[in-house]
């Protein structure tokens, strides 16, 4: 039971990042599609944008440095 709670906390604390096979924490890649992010953050993520738009394009258009910053600023 404690392991499940620890895993949930650890995943939440990764803040949009993931671990690779070596355990290294990495950021989301800019080539992630908005459609994929909608599966995680809901259909209202980047409303009005095409699902095949890349994350790096969205961030550039919104003058935002990271997915985390975008979520704090635009996704509520």
How many distinct structural domains can be found in the chain? 1
In angstroms, the CA 71 to CA 76 distance is: 7
Q: The domain containing residue 53 runs over which residues?
A: 2-74
Query: Residue 13: its pLDDT value, please?
Result: 53
Give the C-alpha separation, 19 to 38, whole Å.
20
Which residues, at least 6 apart from 50, have a Cβ–Cβ distance to it below 8 Å? 34
Instruction: For CA atoms 55, 56, 57, 58, give the dihedral sign.
Output: positive
- Which pLDDT value is given to residue 16? 59
Lowest-confidence pick of 6-10, 27-31, 42-46: 6-10
Q: Please state the φ and ψ torsions of residue 21, each to the nearest 5 degrees.
A: -65, -25
Q: Against a cut of 0.95, is the pTM above it?
A: no
């Amino acid at each position: 039971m404690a392991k499940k709670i620890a895993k949930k906390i650890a995943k939440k604390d990764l803040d949009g990042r993931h671990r690779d096979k070596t355990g290294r924490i990495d950021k989301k890649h800019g080539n992630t599609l908005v459609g994929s992010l909608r599966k995680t953050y809901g259909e209202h993520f980047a409303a009005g944008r095409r699902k095949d738009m890349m994350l790096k394009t969205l961030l550039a258009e919104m003058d935002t440095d990271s997915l985390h910053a975008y979520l704090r600023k635009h996704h509520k």
